[in-house]
Chain A
Amino acid sequence: MNRIAIVSALIAFLVGLTAATFSELRIFLPAILKGAVVTVQVSVLSIILFLFLSLIAGISRSRGNTAIRWIATIYIEVFRGTSLLVILFWMFFVMPEFGLTLSPLAAAVLAFGLNYGAYGAEVVRGAIGAVDKGQTEATIALNMSPYRRMTRIILPQAIAITIPGLSNLTIELIKGTALVSAVTLVDITYAAVQQNQLHYRTVEIFLITVMLYYCLAQFVRFGGEALEEYFTRHLNKRV
């Protein structure tokens, strides 16, 4: 189903690209594609930080000792409670007050990673809770250490459960990167705005913008499904 969607999206994109090459669309397409490079750059780095934080905070909140659990809970609640744009501004304009001046890219990656990591942590926590209780009991009966239990038994099963949730959050994160112009980066969205102010071709320019984001989202969705299939390949098959 989604494979059809991604193929059709790519075809639509290629057709659009061809049309653009042979019309006046070529005037503004290069600038927007340059923006796409920035969007991808910010996204990839943020996604790495987001996944890392989701895992650490999610595990800490579900299995840590009291102090660690509190720290994780405060992190999750604070970053879920504030607005993404506020965090972004805070990183860029207030962090220098603490003696840490961040480049626009670093501020953006930190803001997106921290913000979506807080949401991802809840996905991971839910998945850990969803692994069958009998699995934990079996590890106790086999005298495994808590560390082995988590890394060898619980997490490998929990990760399969987290994939749909984390892949949705990844798509939200990519959409969220549209805010980076606030810290002077020129991504797809801001390139589109700039081109529109030069050429006044609102419908065409924004159609391309929407298509680019749609392709990125489909790419993540496709990857997520492949990963999910990989992680669950032994779990539900009967021979």
Chain B
Amino acid sequence: MDWRWDFTFDVVLPKMWEAAGVTVWATLASFALALVGGLILMLLKTHRSKWVSRPATEVIEVIRATPLLVQIFFLFFLLPEIGITLPPLTTGILAIGLYNSALCAEVYRAGFQAVPKGQWEACIALNMSTYRTFKDVIIPQSLPPIVPALGNYLVAIFKETPLLSFVAVAEIMQVSKLIGAEYYRFTEAITIAGLFFLVMSLIAAFLIRIVENYVKRSILH
């Protein structure tokens, strides 16, 4: 094997550094979308009316059954056809956010269902408003299972961002491919891309554990 350090430092790392910014931005934006989208889908799915909950359930199922890459391509082709032109990065963020909304919806639902039924009944018996019920009783109790699960999705989204290279977004994977194509050297760039994901994932897993413990301690005592 032949690894060239000068090439690594002079060419690969500077380009990758810029690309890392794109990856991180795509991750955070998609995650924010997924958090909000998941909440909306969860509320629709648990809606009283069958006419709302049934379609929401089906939409979630179809999104979950379809590869993320197919959804990225679908939005990438469909949006221009219906007259919406967006940069590929934005389209990709939309697709990743939507895909993970369907997954986060399940996390929220499981979290709320984990709160014992007696807690809801106690709130009714105490004549609390819906707002108070959620804010003071239900949400605090459902956070311990929800927070670590959402943290895991943040890491999953981070690892999904390389799919954006399929629509030519200049994130880490795309840039390392371009470096490879330009200099006919793939080893350094792709290995560094791999290490980047590995190190970030390990750090994230460590942080999630800290947050998880903090939430458990501060809410459930």
Q: Which residues of A contact B (CB under 8 A)?
A: 77-78, 80-87, 89-90, 93-94, 97-98, 171, 175-179, 181-182, 189, 192-193, 196, 200, 202-203, 206, 209-210, 213-214, 217
Identify B70's interface contact among A85, A90, A178, A200, CB under 8 A. A178
B77 in contact with A90 (CB, 8 Å): no
- Shortest A202–chain B CB gap in Å is 5
Bound CA–CA A175/B202 (angstroms): 25
Chain A interface, >50% SS class: helix
Bound CA–CA A87/B187 (angstroms): 12
- Shortest A177–chain B CB gap in Å is 8
Query: B162: which A residues are within 8 A, CB to CB?
Result: 83-86
- Shortest A90–chain B CB gap in Å is 5
B68 in contact with A175 (CB, 8 Å): yes
Bound CA–CA A47/B174 (angstroms): 28
- Shortest A7–chain B CB gap in Å is 16
B70 in contact with A94 (CB, 8 Å): no
Query: A80: which B residues are within 8 A, CB to CB?
Result: 201
Query: B74: which A residues are within 8 A, CB to CB?
Result: 202, 206
Query: A98: which B residues are within 8 A, CB to CB?
Result: 1
Query: B191: which A residues are within 8 A, CB to CB?
Result: 90, 94
Tell me which residues from 4 to 30 in chain B have a Cβ below 8 Å from any Cβ of chain A. Answer: none
Query: A177: which B residues are within 8 A, CB to CB?
Result: 67
Query: A84: which B residues are within 8 A, CB to CB?
Result: 159, 162
Tell me which residues from 186 to 219 in chain B have a Cβ below 8 Å from any Cβ of chain A. Answer: 186-187, 190-191, 193-194, 197-198, 201-202, 205
B84 CB within 8 Å of chain A = no
Identify B1's interface contact among A78, A97, A192, CB under 8 A. A97
Given contacts A77-B202, A83-B160, A97-B1, contact A175 B81 (CB under 8 A): no
Bound CA–CA A177/B62 (angstroms): 17
B2 CB within 8 Å of chain A = yes
Determine the residue in chain A with the shortest Cβ distance to B195: A82
Which bucket holds chain B's interface residue count?
Answer: 35 or more
Bound CA–CA A85/B77 (angstroms): 22
Encode B51-73 as 1/0 by CB contact (under 8 A) with A.
00000000000100111111001
Bound CA–CA A192/B190 (angstroms): 27
B145 CB within 8 Å of chain A = no
Bound CA–CA A30/B77 (angstroms): 21
B177 CB within 8 Å of chain A = yes
- Shortest A154–chain B CB gap in Å is 28
**A and B contact pairs by CB, cutoff 8 A, 9 listed:** A85-B162, A86-B197, A89-B186, A90-B190, A179-B163, A192-B73, A193-B73, A200-B81, A202-B78
Bound CA–CA A213/B73 (angstroms): 15
Query: A82: which B residues are within 8 A, CB to CB?
Result: 159, 194, 197-198, 201
Given contacts A81-B198, A97-B1, contact A206 B70 (CB under 8 A): yes
Determine the residue in chain B with the shortest Cβ distance to A193: B73
Query: A200: which B residues are within 8 A, CB to CB?
Result: 81
- Shortest B176–chain A CB gap in Å is 8
Determine the residue in chain B with the shortest Cβ distance to A200: B81
Bound CA–CA A214/B67 (angstroms): 10
B180 CB within 8 Å of chain A = yes
- Shortest B117–chain A CB gap in Å is 24
Query: B159: which A residues are within 8 A, CB to CB?
Result: 82-84
B190 in contact with A86 (CB, 8 Å): yes
Most buried by A among B2, B77, B165: B77
- Shortest A77–chain B CB gap in Å is 7
A213 in contact with B67 (CB, 8 Å): yes
Determine the residue in chain B with the shortest Cβ distance to A218: B65
Identify B180's interface contact among A93, A179, A214, CB under 8 A. A93
Identify B73's interface contact among A97, A189, A217, CB under 8 A. A189
